[in-house]
Amino acid sequence: MTKKILILSVFVVASCGLAYELIAGALSSYLLGDSILQFSTIIGCYLFAMGVGAHFSKYVRDEDVLARFVDIELAVGLVGGISAAVLFLTFSWMAAPFRTLLYVMVFLIGAFVGMEVPLVMRALNARQTEFNELVSRVLTFDYLGALAVSLLFPLVLAPYLGLVRTGFLFGMLNVGVALWTIFAFRHELKNIGGRMLRASAVMFVLVCGFAGADRMTAWGEHGLFGDEIVYSTTTPYQRLVITRWKDDLRLYINGNLQFSSRDEYRYHEALVHPVLQPLPWAKRVLVLGGGDGLALREILRYQNIEHVTLVDLDPAMTAAFTTREELARLNGGSFRDKRVRVINADAAIWLQKTEEMFDAIIIDFPDPSSFALGKLYSVPFYGMVRKHLAANGLMVVQSTSPFFAPHAYWTIDATLRDVGMRTWPYHAYVPSFGEWGFILASPQADYKPPTTYRLPMRYLNADTTREMFIFPPDMQPLPMAPNRLNTQSLVHEFEQDWRRVIR
């Protein structure tokens, strides 16, 4: 019976160990961007620390193996359990020590986890288990535990519990392992009362943390965003937060501002109308991204538009801007218009499967701050977009700032031209963002900026439109290479550009 308990412990501790690694990687990716860098460095630090822990496990005396195993479970349960909460609150209220604390905690957790399996194997060996059976069983349950959490984390835990509550949950599982080890081996362990008291104290801390996870998250996000949070949710794809200050509603995705209700009309007029004004014959429009429905609001003002397909990855985004009244007011209830079809899918996959053609295409993705987003600004992606655009149709791409991120901006222009598009770059001043860039493109059509508009505008007129297509000396074109999928140069250019701004 004791052997089975130890083997089962391996399954649980393996699950917990991988969960802490995934939590650290996901949290740092949310907060710092560049998911490949964050996951690579965290995995490297974690595995190195596991090696250090495995090495130091040899200094545990045979007669103390079970006692040290219990102590390590309590330590990793406490440190791992609170890790997400501590890291998130640190980033929210005092961002400077975040990176240092991140790698210190990852190293500590990794070192503790690295000691677990060697100690279990020694405990089993002391109970006269055959070596080949010992290794086979321990590694089998170790890998099964890793498989279980690798499936549960992205599908269930992160989207429904959130990172903070998931951390506390796995911390409680580690403490649970300590408690059942104490009970199962109570005749071999010393100071049972003291160990039970310590385990109960750690469990109490973790249970309280689990119960108060939403309050901690709200407090942390208040420090991060400063304003009242009126809506927040973690989805399988991103963290959505909407804040309010007086009459200003703001949307943040993974901590990055997407719009301010005070000036978003400038952005969305500049995004939509230079494309649709010259196309009075256009009937079918495709929107990629734009799950807030604000670009959709501008498109639907044209009576000639008969059908709009909006493809956005996250159903939580489109649902919030459809059903929450304060958000639906911003987009004029555009998702309820009979001309609109909403498809929640990966845009690249959807484009591969559909055979539909469109007269105009509006691409309104978040900035290429990660490789998952960078693929949506790549040569293969724009090649697919071109196949679905009418020969004389027009498309436009939200293209980050030509002032703050010039290398990234002109990389997007080079990428569009690489797939045979003619391009017309332009920019607009949006107070919440500064100078912001767009690139208009077409397979064959010629283009001249509109001098009049069929619809009344709050921002655009002949003068502002003319100025949008003129680049001053400090925003002149740069000779950049296209963004290819295998290198994703755009993501690196984007990061380096904004790093120079922050300095």
Position 21 in a domain: yes
At residue 354, what is the residue type?
A: T
CATH number at residue 54: 1.20.1250.20
Position 371 in a domain: yes
Residue 291, pLDDT score: 93
* Backbone dihedral angles phi then psi of residue 388, each to the nearest 5 degrees: -105, 5
* Backbone dihedral angles phi then psi of residue 437, each to the nearest 5 degrees: -115, 150
Which of 232, 258, 284 is the last residue in one of the domains?
258
Which of 189, 211, 233 is the last residue in one of the domains?
211
**Same domain, residue pair 85 and 227:** no
Return d(Cα 436, Cα 236) in angstroms, integer. 29
Position 325 in a domain: yes
Q: Which residues are CB-contacts of 227 (< 8 A; sequence separation ≥ 6)?
A: 243, 244, 245, 248, 250
Going from the C-alpha of 356 to that of each of 287, 350, 385, 397, 443, the distances in angstroms are 13, 11, 11, 19, 17
Position 281 in a domain: yes
Position 217 in a domain: no
Residue with tokens 């998702």, as numbered in its chain: 335
Relative orientation angle of helices 98-126 and 2-32, to the nearest 10 degrees: 170
Phi/psi region, residue 254 (left: phi>0; alpha: psi -120 to 50; beta: rest), is: left
CATH number at residue 407: 3.40.50.150
34 in catalytic set: no
Give bridge partners of residue 229 from the DSSP assignment.
Answer: 243
Residue with tokens 């005396």, as numbered in its chain: 61
**Same domain, residue pair 49 and 69:** yes
pLDDT in tens, 437-471: 999 999 988 999 999 999 999 999 999 999 999 99
Domain count, the chain: 3
Going from the C-alpha of 380 to that of each of 36, 356, 374, 418, 492, the distances in angstroms are 20, 18, 11, 10, 18
What range defines the domain where residue 267 resides?
A: 262-502
Position 406 in a domain: yes
Helix (H) or strand (E) holding 425: strand 422-430
Return d(Cα 98, Cα 290) in angstroms, integer. 32
**Same domain, residue pair 234 and 193:** no
**Same domain, residue pair 293 and 316:** yes
Return d(Cα 396, Cα 290) in angstroms, integer. 13
Return d(Cα 378, Cα 465) in angstroms, integer. 28
Return d(Cα 37, Cα 58) in angstroms, integer. 33
Dihedral angle sign, alpha carbons of residues 380, 382, 385, 387: negative
Return d(Cα 216, Cα 219) in angstroms, integer. 5
Return d(Cα 393, Cα 313) in angstroms, integer. 25
**Same domain, residue pair 239 and 322:** no
Position 383 in a domain: yes
The 10 Å CB-count burial string (b at 16+, else e) for 300-318 is bbbeebeebbbbbbbbbbb
Contact 11, 17 (CB under 8 A): no
Q: Own/partner pairs for 131-139, CB < 8 Å, 24+ apart? A: 137/7, 137/10, 138/7, 138/10
Residue 33, pLDDT score: 64
Residue with tokens 């498809």, as numbered in its chain: 343
Return d(Cα 230, Cα 2) in angstroms, integer. 51
Dihedral angle sign, alpha carbons of residues 222, 224, 488, 497: positive
Query: By CB neighbour count within 10 A (0-12 exposed, 13-18 middle, 19+ buried), where does 146 fall?
Result: middle
Instruction: Report the relative pairing of strands 239-245 and 228-234 from DSSP bridges.
Output: antiparallel
**Same domain, residue pair 472 and 333:** yes
Residue 128, pLDDT score: 56
Indicate which residue of 364, 367, 413, 497 is catalytic.
364
Helix (H) or strand (E) holding 231: strand 228-234
**Same domain, residue pair 200 and 226:** no
**Same domain, residue pair 230 and 284:** no
**Same domain, residue pair 198 and 93:** yes
DSSP result, 50-111: HHHHHHHGGGS-GGGHHHHHHHHHHHHHHHHHHHHHHHHHHHHH--TTHHHHHHHHHHHHHH
Q: What percent of the chain has pLDDT over 90?
A: 55
Position 216 in a domain: no
Residues of the chain with pLDDT under 50: none
**Same domain, residue pair 431 and 301:** yes
Q: pTM of the predicted model, to two decimals?
A: 0.75
**Same domain, residue pair 193 and 289:** no
Return d(Cα 470, Cα 96) in angstroms, integer. 39
**Same domain, residue pair 347 and 297:** yes
